[in-house]
Structure 1
């Protein structure tokens, strides 16, 4: 057995940082020439840390930083998003885009609630570029696992895909390219992992 701790929200985070956060000041330059600290956008792009952005301490720090940023357009949009407590709304829009990009080549997020006529077109190409680092970790895990098992890539005859992220074309293609002789078997995308955990729990602890 082997693996990496990568889930659906990790893919969401990278898509958000690459495709959406630049509109909210991510990558902005300070007057000193340094980049704006990334912690605020990392929090906004990470589901369970979004609320940290709403704290008084965070907002005061952002307010102070605003005077040192060359172009304040992005950070002003960020303030509007915080004012509306719309961080989770944005996260859900990014997640919906990720899901739609498994079948479509692009999806537009309407950001008119932040600024009139503002929006962003997220494409599959942008998504795949954003998650390449995660895919590399998956490939590395597969290589390490095969090495430990003493099995060559050509000897693998079956790959079982399950979990929502297994529907991402770039992930499937990445694994398929490593294991060219393997047939693909589909599990229950949303239920088989939970079912497997339940079966293992029953084996260990018995029926409730």
Structure 2
């Protein structure tokens, strides 16, 4: 009923792309200053948003691209620029203004998308869905996607006690490191998009 090889392939591919472990410092920095309940809610909301976005593009991704006349490089570049804005806030400390005001739902942007449900995860899922040729393969792809999102939720949810250990100075350090990592991810997305445009793929 389930194609175990395909399930593992989907899980490993998306696990590497979405990187639950690498998401932890960014999640901790974005939820610093919020109550534990709010942070826990942000964890499952981010995963829910990511799952919905991935599912949407799995079924309708190509149609959306065609209708809006956009290409994958354009999506990559847009996602990279959005992440870069968030990274700059983390590096300069401006994210604390949003925390104080409580006006930003970080579970939606940037966590849910484009960090978790980014261009790489979207395209990988679309390719897996295109290769579905039976109920067994379809179920395997679905289970792989669900398993990755459970791993993402667990990584963020159970990383919260770290905040109690590292205290305020540690949070500041993690925030700056997260900003640096996020800016690198953003620049890489933009660079890949530019290369694709130059190669005529956009």
Which gives a bigger RCO, structure 1 or 2 (Cα 8 Å, sep 6+)?
2
TM-score for the superposition, normalised by structure 1: 0.26
Q: Which structure has more strand as a fraction of its residues?
A: 1
TM-score for the superposition, normalised by structure 2: 0.27
